[in-house]
Each structure stands twice: as C-alpha cells, then as structure tokens.
Amino acid sequence: MAKRGMGNPGAIQSRIAVLKEGTQTCLAADATLVVAGEALTAAQIQSRLRGADALRDAVDAARIALQTALQTYQAAVPGIRLFIKNYEASLRSRFGVDSSELRAFGINIAKPRRRTVAEVAVSVARA
C-alpha cells in the first residue's frame, strides 16, 4: 500500500499532505515513532515531510525558470540567426569569399564548382 502511486510526483505530494495532516492531528507532540529503525518525534516527522515539500517547491521553481528561459531563447533565435548570417557576410566582404582567414571563424571557403564532362570536353576542344 505504501508504494502505490509513488512514481507520480502529484501522488507523492498528495500523500505527503495527508501524512502531514494525520501526523499533526493524530500523534501527540511528544510521541515517538520508530520509522525504518529510527526513533522520531512527531515534530521530526513533520520536519522531514516539510523538507520533501521544499524539495518539490524547488523543482517547480526550477521548471518555471527553465520554461521562461527556453521561451526567451526561442524568441531570440531568429534574430540571432539573422545576426550570424549578416556577420558572416560582412566577414566574407572584408576578407574575400576565398580567403583562408575565414576558416578561423568556422566559415568554409567557397569551392569552385566541379565541371561536368561536357564542360571539360568544350574547354579541351577550344584549346
């Protein structure tokens, strides 16, 4: 019975809430209960349950912060891509499209297109 629903975070939080309420209403403040071989007072049990709540609150806050940061980033991506495209164009303009200095920026140098067999035949015939 104790393991039922423990894989679901919502179920865990619900179970903690019920346990806190039961501990507060049914256990005397000076009562001691042995839990997994450890003697705990009602106050210590409540403290552990509140600690679990605090961990869940921290997870929820982190999740909200992550979602906010992802939304901000996703909204900025088109502008970032445009800046990168314009910056790379400016670098090509400054150094030249076939400059080896572009490699320092991670920009591949434009390779000449490979000629087809027909183009090679035409150039040989002209020569």
pLDDT tens digits, residue range 50-102? Answer: 999 999 999 999 999 999 999 999 999 999 999 999 999 999 999 998 888 99
In a domain, 14, yes or no: yes
Whether 1 maps to a domain, the answer reads no
For the residues 9-15, what does the mean pLDDT come to? Answer: 89
On whether residue 2 sits in a domain, the answer given is no
**Cα(92)–Cα(86) distance, integer angstroms:** 10
Q: What is d(CA 65, CA 82) in angstroms, rounded to the nearest whole number?
A: 26
> Is 4 contained in some domain?
no
User: Is the per-residue pLDDT at 1 higher than 70?
Assistant: no
Greater model confidence, 114 or 3: 114
Which class for 65: exposed (0-12), middle (13-18), buried (19 or more C-beta within 10 A)? exposed
Q: What's the total number of domains in the chain?
A: 1
pLDDT at 111 exceeding the cut of 50 = yes
47 located within any domain: yes
Assigned domain for 3 exists: no
What b/e readout covers 20-32, taking b as 16+ CB neighbours within 10 angstroms? beebeeebeeeee
Q: Which domain holds residue 25?
A: 9-126
Cβ neighbors of 75 (< 8 A, separation 6 or more) are none
